[in-house]
A and B are shown apart, each in its own frame.
Chain A
Amino acid sequence: MYKYKIEKTHKEIMRSSSFYARYQTRHQAKGKAKAGVMPLRIAHRRSAAPKTKDRRIRTTTTRREARREAAAAAGRCSSSGLPRSGSSTPMGSSPNRSSSSSSSSSVSPPPSPSDRQGRLTTTQLEQLRVEQEVYGIYRLFHGVAPHTRSFTLELWRDKHIEFLTRGLKQLGPNYHVLDANRPWLCYWIIHSITLMGESVNSELEDNVVQFLSHCEDKNGGYGGGPGQMPHLATTYAAVNTLITLGGEMSLSSIHRENMLKFLLQMKDSSGAFRMHNGGEIDVRACYTAISVASILNVLDDELVTDLGNYILSCQTYEGGIAGEPGSEAHGGYTFCGLATMILINEADKLDLPSLVDWVASRQGVECGFQGRVNKLVDGCYSFWQGGVLALAQRLLPIVHKQLESSFISGVQASAECKKSCNFTAEETGQDENLCRAGTSHPENEGEELSDFGFSFIGRHTECGPLFHSIALQQYILLCSQVLEGGFRDKPGKQRDFYHSCYCLSGLSVSQYSWSKDDGGPPLTSAVLGPYTNLLEPVHPLYNVVLHKYYKSHEFFSTL
């Protein structure tokens, strides 16, 4: 049943790209579709509009109108430029930075339909360029023989492992721009390797533990390299790396008491966190601090004070979460913000229906995710945005409850909300905890703060993913995967470790998105390409491989 549904929607997606529509309109005679690639026209005709109306619209499509339509369509769906470009970000940075400068010097007519026809804006032009590139790849893919097609959808594990392992051993001189991100390099690479079910040998493991201890500050926290100031983002990367390695020596190398002291030093009076002594305050800092505290079982009330209100103040009118109050909703920060709220058990403070709606809308015609509205697709958002939806999947009872209570009909609303919440729980067979989960406050008093990350993963998901998991896998495998190993933002960009890590993490999240319980093997239909593409599942709150998380949880919960 699921299988059928997935395959069906997958095909539909392939037919219904807006670019393909334009391609058809411009270059192909009516009904002259190649085998295996059905023109959009058909998908449209099967869709909402009655045939007559549809035909009318289609046949009056002049070249000019088509261009306008294209222009309008180009405006939606896109991404890029996450906090990827600085150093030390949970999103890291690429040494092969490309400047996305674009001149916008043309004359500015007012935004009225008549004046706008002839000119495409910067956003539209950039979007069109990417769509052309991506659809070129998809057209090729659909044009090849079936056996070649399955090869194309293969995850080239050996190549990736080779690329990653080489990086762990030696990096070229141009990597000096990542000299303050070395724990990140460890995390991106080792997490990627572990996702593919491989591990580093014990000698290398020892070396990593030893090296990271050189990055650890004597007063707690980890810096971007030996002798550098401790920094929250690199602390997160170092801790996640050590948990991913998972050995006793590795786990016990972290000085938890000093860590708590460091985290408390980074706590700001606003309730948020600073990246480092005198550093910037933002949602990344909050997430990395809380993730580390939670996974090491040192999360306490002092760390949590006023934090929920800060994150809440970063949720924007669009629904997503910004880096700081007033800024634009953004995929990376939305992940950080939501994960933080779940870890401190205050997710229900957020406007979850609008958050989910915003994130779900970020998956575009290219099949991947964009980071913000009207920006370009980027493979790394496969995790940031896909991860948000994986988290949201476990919050759906709360989302439903919020939807129900926002219905305006006087006093009935709140009674109705309670009724429906109970109803949902009964109907779906979920236990009461699920309904309550995310509501902080009295009923959770027995639960330790650090437990929320653990109990969250155990929640059952009664609903499939709120994104198109097959389409996302397609973007990752066909557009982000690099033949020589590694992953990239989008076609035309260079591969790097950051994108390799987050494309693989996103791939894992989408493969398991139909699984009902944590880490259970997904149906073959949920995995695009050969089943051997299947990766290890992750804990979506921390982004560490799940069985490594369990092991560390066992280790730290007894301390």
Chain B
Amino acid sequence: MPSSDDEVDRVPLSARPEWSDVRPVPQDDGPNPVAPIAYRDDFRETMDYFRAVYLADERSRRALDLTTEAIGMNPGNYTVWHFRRVVLESLNADLHEERDFLDRMTMRNAKNYQIWHHRRWLAEKLGPEVANKELEFSKNILDLDAKNYHAWSHRQWVLQSLGGWENELGYCCMLLEDDIFNNSAWNQRYFVITRSPLLGGLQAMRDSEVGYTTEAILANPLNESPWRYLRGLYKGDTSQLISDNRVSELCLKVLKTSNSCQFALSLLLDLLCYGFQPSEELRAVVEALRNSEQDTVSSKLATTVCLILEITDPMRSNYWAWRRNNLPSQVC
């Protein structure tokens, strides 16, 4: 909790000579406030003074310092952040100094919308020269929590607006080597191969990416991330998806070795729903997964796949039953 442990020696604003000319403005909660917060004295006082400078639109150094204090107590107050930006602009303040302040704030509140929004505003002002610094900073945050949503959004924004794509695929590889289950890293990988100006786009990258992804799947067939990524590599191009033998062969390989893998079956089902014609071997492997107790014989492989999933993936039995009842009419 960002409490006031670093405010132990805090001098009340009312006792500071530089604030003697300001009359604090108390919060107008009305006569019968709801969900009232028992504010600590320092919090209440800081906000009372903040209201005073905010209402007076006082764009001064002391107003800036006051927002620093207010933000330290509640970094979620977007009004304070907004006013801080107004003041920073008016004062033509040193934005590198602001960056240092923000670094400290972010390390303590890594999942706060306002902080990251402010950071984007700041980086935009500072321009491409800070691209690498920003990437380095988001890496520091991701070192602590490799799935921090805000840090990833910021990183993507930096890449797109300020540049710094050179090592991004390498960074994704590094994170995936460390934790192949890190779906945020897979998402970033997709972002890089589809949007990096240095790589030539999805089509150019598809071949090598399919190889990489296949390897990851074979290493951990129960890792959902690469399975979704593989589908993503053919996004908007389902005819490629069903005609690329590597995809169906991967399903075959996994189903042969790992009893019944939900993700392999699910991908196979999608392939069939797009019009894929299964080989006899694939058909046989799937049929072999069927429970002998199931007496219903289906001519459609897609139906069989759904039936297997309904049993082996009981959390989703309703979903797979719905899929079974809604197969495209021409499906195999």
What is A's interface to B at a CB cutoff of 8 Å? 9, 12-13, 16, 43, 46-51, 53-54, 57, 71-73, 75-76, 81, 83-89, 93, 95-97, 99-104, 106, 108-113, 116, 121-124, 167-168, 170-182, 185-186, 189, 204, 206-208, 210-214, 223-229, 231, 275-280, 316-319, 323-324, 326-330, 354, 356-358, 360-361, 363-365, 367, 372-375, 396, 399-400, 403-404, 406-409, 412, 416, 419-420, 463-468, 471
Contact with A along B117-157 (1 / 0, CB 8 A): 10010000000000000000000000111111110110010
* Distance in angstroms between the alpha carbons of A323 and B153 in the assembled complex: 9
> Contact between A9 and B288 (Cβ–Cβ < 8 Å)?
no
- Known pairs A76-B222, A330-B149, A407-B275; A111 contacts B215 (CB<8 A): yes
Given contacts A47-B260, A276-B82, A407-B275, contact A361 B29 (CB under 8 A): no
Q: A360 — which chain B residues lie within 8 A by C-beta?
A: 316, 319
Q: A181-B76, A327-B152, A412-B330 are in contact. Are A176 and B37 (CB under 8 A)?
A: yes
Q: Are the C-beta atoms of B36 and A171 separated by less than 8 Å? A: yes
Which residues in window 201-227 of B have CB below 8 A to A?
A: 215-216, 218-225
Smallest Cβ distance from B269 to chain A, in angstroms?
Answer: 9
> How far is A47 from B314 in the complex, measured between Cα atoms in Å?
10
Whether B275 pairs with A409 at a CB distance below 8 angstroms is yes
Contact of B289 among A49, A170, A319 (CB under 8 A): A49
**Residues of B close to A367: CB separation below 8 A:** 315
Give the residues in chain B near A318, CB-CB below 8 Å: 187, 228, 232
Does A228 contact B77, Cβ atoms closer than 8 Å?
Answer: yes
Given A121-B180, A174-B3, check contact A317 B78 (CB 8 Å): no
How far, in Å, is A25 (CB) from chain B's closest CB? 14
Please give the distance in Å from B271's CB to the nearest CB on chain A.
11
19 A-B pairs besides A180-B77, A279-B78 with CB distance below 8 A are A83-B113, A86-B114, A87-B112, A102-B144, A111-B220, A170-B38, A178-B76, A224-B79, A278-B85, A280-B116, A357-B270, A365-B315, A374-B183, A403-B327, A407-B274, A466-B316, A468-B316, A468-B317, A468-B318
Q: Which one of B6-14, B61-69, B170-178 contacts A?
A: B170-178
Considering the chains assembled together, what is the distance between the CA atoms of A59 and B113 in angstroms?
51
Cβ A47 vs Cβ B291 within 8 A: yes
A-B contact pairs, 16 of them (CB 8 A): A48-B260, A48-B308, A75-B181, A75-B225, A168-B35, A176-B73, A179-B47, A180-B78, A214-B29, A276-B78, A324-B153, A357-B270, A374-B225, A396-B326, A406-B238, A466-B322
- Measured in the bound complex, the distance between the Cα atoms of B36 and A301 in whole Å is 39
Alpha-carbon distance A206/B32, docked complex (angstroms)? 9
In the complex, chain A residues whose CB is within 8 Å of the CB of B221: 72
Task: Please give, as numbers and ranges, the residues of chain A lying within 8 Å of B220 by CB-CB distance.
Answer: 71-72, 75, 111, 113, 116
**Interface flag for B49 (CB, 8 Å):** no
- CA–CA, A51 to B224, complex, Å? 27
Known: A81-B148, A208-B34, A408-B275. A420 touches B329 (CB 8 A): yes
Interface of chain A: mostly helix, strand, loop or mixed = loop
B190 at the interface (CB under 8 A from A): yes
Within 8 A of A (CB), among B21-44: 25, 27-40, 43
- A466 and B288 form a contact (CB under 8 A): no
Taking Cβ atoms with an 8 Å cutoff, the residues of B that contact A are 1-3, 25, 27-40, 43, 47, 51, 54, 73-79, 82, 85, 109-114, 116-117, 120, 143-150, 152-153, 156, 160, 174, 176-184, 187, 190-191, 195, 215-216, 218-225, 228-229, 231-232, 235, 238-239, 242, 259-260, 266, 270, 273-275, 288-293, 308, 311-312, 314-319, 322, 326-331
> Closest CB-CB distance, B184 to chain A, in whole Å?
5
Q: How far is the CA of A168 from the CA of B35 in the complex (A)?
A: 4
Residues of B within 8 A of A100 (CB): 145
Q: Hey, which chain B residues are within 8 Å of A171, CB to CB?
A: 35-38
Distance in angstroms between the alpha carbons of A85 and B260 in the assembled complex: 38
Expressed in whole angstroms, the Cα–Cα distance for A471 and B318 within the complex equals 12
Q: Is the CB of A178 within 8 A of B330?
A: no
**B79 contacts across to A, CB distance below 8 A:** 180, 223-224, 227-229
Specify which chain B residues have a CB less than 8 angstroms from the CB of A407 in the assembled complex.
273-275, 328, 330-331
Q: In the A-B complex, list the 3 residue pairs whose CB atoms are closest, starting with the nearest.
A: A87-B76, A317-B232, A85-B111
Q: Which residue of A lies closest to B195 (CB)?
A: A326
> Is the pair A46, B34 in contact by a Cβ cutoff of 8 Å?
no
Chain B residues, Cβ within 8 Å of A319: 228
B28 x A227 contact (CB < 8 A): yes
Query: A9, A108, A178, A277: which contacts B317 (Cβ < 8 A)?
Result: A9
Complex Cα gap A356–B190 (Å) = 21
Structural contact, A373 and B315, CB atoms closer than 8 A: no
Chain B residues closer than 8 Å to A177, beta-carbon distance: 1-2, 74-76
Give B188's nearest chain A residue, CB to CB: A328
Which residue among B113, B114, B143 has the maximum number of chain A CB atoms within 10 Å of its CB?
Answer: B113
Contacts of A227 in B (CB 8 A): 25, 27-28, 51, 54, 79
B37 surroundings in chain A (CB, below 8 A): 171-173, 175-176, 178-179, 182
A214→B36 CA distance, assembly (Å): 13
**B314 and A111 contacting across the interface, CB-CB below 8 Å:** no
Which of chain A's residues has its CB closest to B73's CB? A176
Q: Tell me the nearest residue of chain A to B191, going by C-beta.
A: A326
Q: Are A57 and B330 in contact (CB under 8 A)?
A: no
Q: Contact check, B311 vs A101: say whether CB atoms are below 8 A apart.
A: no
CB distance from B35 to the nearest CB of A (A): 4
In the complex, A361→B239 CA distance in Å? 24
CB B199 to nearest CB in A, in angstroms, measures 15
Measured between C-beta atoms, what is the minimum distance from A475 to chain B in Å?
11
Per the bound structure, the CA–CA distance linking A354 and B148 in Å amounts to 24
B residues in contact with A231, CB < 8 Å? 78
Evaluate contact between A86 and B76: CB separation under 8 angstroms.
Answer: yes
* A123-B179 contact in complex given A87-B113, A363-B315, C-beta closer than 8 Å: yes
Q: Which of A43, A51, A466 contacts B318 (CB 8 A)?
A: A466
Q: Of residues A212, A229, A324, A396, which shows the largest number of chain B Cβ atoms within 10 Å of its Cβ?
A: A229
CB within 8 A of A179: which of B77, B143, B148, B316? B77
User: What CA separation (Å) do A93 and B266 show in the bound complex?
Assistant: 35
Contact (Cβ within 8 A) B145 A89: no
State which of A48, A99, A173 has its C-beta within 8 Å of the C-beta of B311. Answer: A48
